[in-house]
Amino acid sequence: MTRLRGSGNSPVLGGVDGTDGPSPGSVPSISDTARPMADDDTRLSRRTLLAAGSALAGAAMGGNGAQAAPPAPSVPADTGAVQGGKVMFPNWRGSGDRPPAPTPAPQPPGQRVGYCVIGLGRLSLDEILPAFGETKRSRLAAVMSGSPDKAKLVARQYGLPDDAVYGYDEWDRLKANPDVHAVYVVTPNGVHRDNVLAAASAGKQVLCEKPMAVSSQECRDMIAACAKANVKLMIAYRCQYEPHNRAVIRLARTGEFGKPKLIQAFNGQTTGLPEQWRLRKALSGGGSLPDIGLYCLNTTRAVLGEEPDQIQAQIHSPPDDPRYREVEETVSFTMRFPSGVIAQCQSSYGVYEARSLTLHTSNASIDLQNAFAYEGQRLFVGHRDGKNAARDEKILSRKNQFALEMDHFSRCIQENLRPHTPGEEGLQDQVLMEAIYEAARTGAPVKVGPPQGAGTGLDVTRGPEPEEAG
């Protein structure tokens, strides 16, 4: 091994085996240890580095090693303090900088809500399972799949025991597992109802992917089953928990830039593989509308807090494309709200990927790019700045949407709260999508409104606001 040497022919630091090192009790001089390494001195063992550090420290203390080390930090600005079960630090930054985010305070693994993920398709494997690594209240406890080999492999990858793997016919065995408190249903839309009813019967809390089901009646069945079993039901509208989308909601509700007048929402992508389940109506319930157009519908409702009173719509599918024999390619629908806001929404399976949300107010244009994507959101506000026009970007911290929604549901379970996006939220979207299909079929506007018995005011289908800290 190449050695770092001092002056003359006396070795200063030996190799990894300690040979050719300094004699016991000897301390090399500053000039020796500070000598530049030769060009080939690119590798130093841990022992070598420690020896070099000790030598320098000893030399700095006059060679006798008697001087005490500097005192450790002791003021709260550096060490923090435990408050309410969390480590809290004061804001150390000056007034010119934005304050730092709260220090993470994850719950111990044994206190977190244990989830069984139902269905191991792309969304589960690419997004949801990895998101558990960013949660603070949630943990992966089990998986359920119709593919045993895949399920066993995934379980090993995430450190789950063999008995934490379930088939779709093993709900009774899952019921007996006290380590699983909740399920996250990530199966095709057409089987959501059966999965949710089975989970409720097993006494497990239920987080279900959107769209909630393929019909409003199925949604009602799911709500009733969870209520009867006294378990919570939440629909996974991740965008309502994502920081940039929440910032748009705040801007719309506070009127900082004036009242909303118009909303434009678009969600589009290209679709291949004609054999995929999303192009089979029995499993999907429809084409681009329930899959990606739903984001435009749900986000518009969430931004305003209102329910539309009228819907108009058009649908088009290429007549010679076999992919669209059962479901639609492109949907355009317009919603009118009681406040006078008009929302123009579009979704398509036949265009280059784009996901945007623009809110037009009397004093600004609020533009959220990549609005419905898993990541990459950017929020811009165009407005007047004195005699000039300005376009400002609001920089927000990135947070995993799936982790945020799971932790919100876990908090609701732990603290017995109503979820922000309960089953009633999913039901209302399904009712409105059925109205969109009806408006497109007849070519006439369809009157809609809030659910019967939902009361008046804003957010009649939603629970309390999610915690901002995530």
User: Which range, 26-30, 245-249, 269-273, has the best average confidence (pLDDT)?
Assistant: 245-249
- Structural domain tally of the chain? 3
Domain boundary, last residue among 236, 264, 282 = 236
My answer on whether 268 and 392 are in the same domain is yes
Q: pLDDT at position 19, please?
A: 41
* Structural domain includes residue 469: no
Q: What pLDDT digit, counting tens, does each position of 339-379 carry?
A: 999 999 999 999 999 999 999 999 999 999 999 999 999 99
Residues 8 and 155 in one domain: no
The per-residue pLDDT for range 309-323, each reduced to its tens digit, is 999 999 999 999 999
Interval 255-297: pLDDT, tens: 999 999 999 999 999 998 999 999 999 999 999 999 999 999 9
Of the CA atoms within 13 Å of residue 379, those in its CB half-sphere come to 19
CB atoms within 10 A of CB 348: 23
Q: What is the mean pLDDT of the chain?
A: 88
Same domain, 161 and 193: yes
Chain centroid offset of residue 333 CA = 28
Q: Which residues pair with 263 in a beta bridge?
A: 343, 359
For residue 66, the model assigns a pLDDT of: 60
Residue type, 51: A
**Which whole number is the average pLDDT over 52-64?**
50
Find the CATH number of the domain harbouring 156. Answer: 3.40.50.720
- Asked if residue 15 is part of any domain, the answer here is yes
Q: Give SS3 for 244.
A: helix
Closest CA to 244 of 357, 330, 89, 346: 357
What digits encode the pLDDT tens for the residues 223-238? 999 999 999 999 999 9
In a shared domain, residues 371 and 273: yes
- pLDDT category, 428, cuts 50, 70, 90? very high
pLDDT at 100: 84
Q: Cα separation of 260 and 362, whole Å?
A: 7
Q: How far is Cα 205 from Cα 114, in angstroms, rounded to an integer?
A: 10
Residue 185: which of 423, 435, 13 has the closest Cα? 423
Give yes or no for residue 8 having a pLDDT over 50: no
The DSSP H or E segment spanning 234 is strand 233-235
Judged against a pLDDT cut of 50, whether residue 381 lies above it is answered with yes
Q: Measure the CA–CA gap between 288 and 395, rounded to whole angstroms.
A: 31
Distance CA 268, CA 355 (A): 6
Indicate if the alpha-carbon torsion angle 314, 320, 324, 329 is positive or negative.
Answer: negative
Residues 300 and 434 in one domain: yes
Question: Is 136 in the active site?
Answer: no
CATH classification of the domain holding 244:
3.30.360.10
Task: Return the closest-CA partner of residue 188 out of 290, 60, 278, 115.
Answer: 278
Q: Is residue 177 domain-shared with residue 275, that is, in the same domain?
A: no
Instruction: For residue 148, say if its preceding peptide bond is cis, omega within 30 degrees of 0.
Output: no
Distance of CA 329 to the CA centre of its chain: 27
- Rounded Cα distance between 325 and 319, Å, is 8
Strand partners, 311: 335, 446
Specify whether 331 is located in the same domain as 245: yes
| Least confident range of 352-361, 369-378, 415-424, 460-469 | 460-469
149 plus 222 within the same structural domain: yes
| Residue 466, in any domain of the structure | no
Please provide the DSSP assignment of 108-152 as one string: PGGGSEEEEEE--SHHIIIIIHHHGGG-SSEEEEEEE-S-HHHHH
Domain edge (last residue) among 236, 271, 295 = 236
**CB of 360 closer than 8 Å to CB of 262:** yes
Q: Residue 117 falls within a domain, yes or no?
A: yes
Per-residue pLDDT band for 95 (boundaries 50, 70, 90) equals confident
- Establish if 96 belongs to a structural domain: no
Asked if 1 and 16 touch (Cβ cutoff 8 Å), the reply is yes
Same domain, 195 and 301: no
The residue written with tokens 């779709």 in the block is 168
Q: 18: helix, coil or strand?
A: coil
pLDDT at 89: 86
Catalytic residue among 115, 166, 184, 295: 295
Specify whether 131 is located in the same domain as 166: yes
pTM: 0.84
> For the residues 30-54, what does the mean pLDDT come to?
44
343 bridge partner residues: 263, 335
Is 41 a domain residue?
yes
**What is the structure's pLDDT at 62?**
52
Report d(CA 281, CA 300) in Å as an integer: 25
CB atoms under 10 Å from CB of 86, counted, come to 12
pLDDT tier for residue 58 given thresholds of 50, 70 and 90: low
Domain that holds residue 40: 1-63
Of 69-73, 144-148, 178-182, 262-266, minimum mean pLDDT range: 69-73
Catalytic residue selected from 184, 210, 237, 324: 210
pLDDT at 247 over 80: yes
DSSP count for the chain of H helices, then E strands: 15, 17
Give yes or no: 295 in active site.
Answer: yes
**Same-domain pairing of 161 and 266:** no
Q: DSSP secondary structure string, 77-100?
A: HHH-EEETTEEE----S-TTSPPP
pLDDT at res. 470: 44
Residue 152, domain member (yes or no): yes
Identify whether 69 is part of a domain: no
Please name the helix (run of DSSP H) or strand (run of DSSP E) that holds residue 356, with its range, or none. strand 350-361
Give the residue, 163 or 74, on which the prediction is more confident: 163
Looking at the structure, do residues 333 and 430 belong to the same domain, yes or no?
yes
Q: 236, 255, 282: which is the final residue of a domain? A: 236
